[in-house]
Structure 1
Amino acid sequence: MKKNYSLYNYRRRNVTKLPVYRKALYIFKLSRQIVEYLRGDKSVIELHNSKIASDQFSDKLVMTSLGLAPKIAMAETTPDPTIKLASISSIQKNTAALLHYCESLELTHGQGKEFLHLLRKEVKKFGHLQNKWALGISNKN
């Protein structure tokens, strides 16, 4: 049993070095900065409670991007193949959702289109990294 535990710790330490994990963190930071620029100093709770469409899309953008890195870590460290596949599937859905939220923000918000375009470009890069990573994870099972 100790052997499995040390393998778990080894894999957990390496998660932070994965390009897909680092890109997920970058997407979250970029999302938060763009939302801060577009919506001012509103907190995530204020965005969530707002009835304004661009606030709601901003909230969804930040919250969805926040969930990427933990799901990557979960898929990378769990020995359970069901959890791995569920995490990978969730990451894929969230990647598509991020692209949708960027498009929606461009339609509902006049300024910051160049920043949203940059974010969309990074999300697409993340999608490619994520697909390669997911294929590697799936092959380990």
Structure 2
Amino acid sequence: MPLHSFGNNTQSAIYKKSLEIFSLASSISRYLSHDLAHLQRNGMEDPHIYYTGDIVQQSVSLGPQILKAESQPFSEEKQKHAASVMRLSNLLYKNCKRLERVNSNGKDFLPLLQKELKKFRKLQHTWRLTL
């Protein structure tokens, strides 16, 4: 999904960070997917390959949820979308942890994504207070 599909709201620091996370997660996913696409010796596919798609899906969903939260007129609706952002970032972090167990050189890039997610969580805390 192209980055411009998130919208034009580029002034929000958390939104910018979500774009960075999406870009990074997509690159890592492509790298890992290539290594995990081969069948194992027993003819089964590597079960970790699904986590590569999950990190892309979760990261691509961050931006729209942020925009929805920022555009809602009522606090209750803002908090609903902010909670969704929190769930997505937590799932994304958990899937990074799961991908650390794969047999691929691509897992060496996961700490970079986790570092960016930690920065995102700090931004998220401040952002939620401002909603």
Instruction: With the length of structure 1 as denominator, give the TM-score of the two structures.
Output: 0.76
Query: Where does the alignment leave 5 or more consecutive residues of structure 2 unmatched?
Result: 1-6, 37-43
Q: CA separation in 1, counterparts of 2:29 and 2:73?
A: 36
Change in Cα spacing, 1:57 to 1:19, as seen in structure 2 (3 Å) is same
Gap change, CA 1:41 and 1:104, over 3 Å in 2 = closer
State the identity %: 34
Q: Give the structure with the larger helix fraction.
A: 1
Which consecutive residues of structure 1, in runs of 5 or more, have no partner in the other structure? 1-11, 43-49
- The answer as to 2:46 corresponding to 1:52 is yes
| 1:41 Cα deviation from its structure 2 partner | 9.6
Q: Which residue of 2 aligns with 1:62?
A: 56
**TM-score, with normalisation over the residues of structure 2?**
0.82
Q: Is the contact made by 1:53 and 1:108 (CA closer than 8 Å) also made in structure 2? A: no
Counterpart of 1:28 in structure 2 is 22
Over the aligned positions, Cα root-mean-square deviation in angstroms equals 2.1
SS at match of 1:40: helix
Aligned residues: 118
- 2:85 counterpart (91, 97, 112): 91
Larger radius of gyration between Structure 1 and Structure 2: 1
Q: Structure 1 residue runs of 4+, over 4 Å off?
A: none
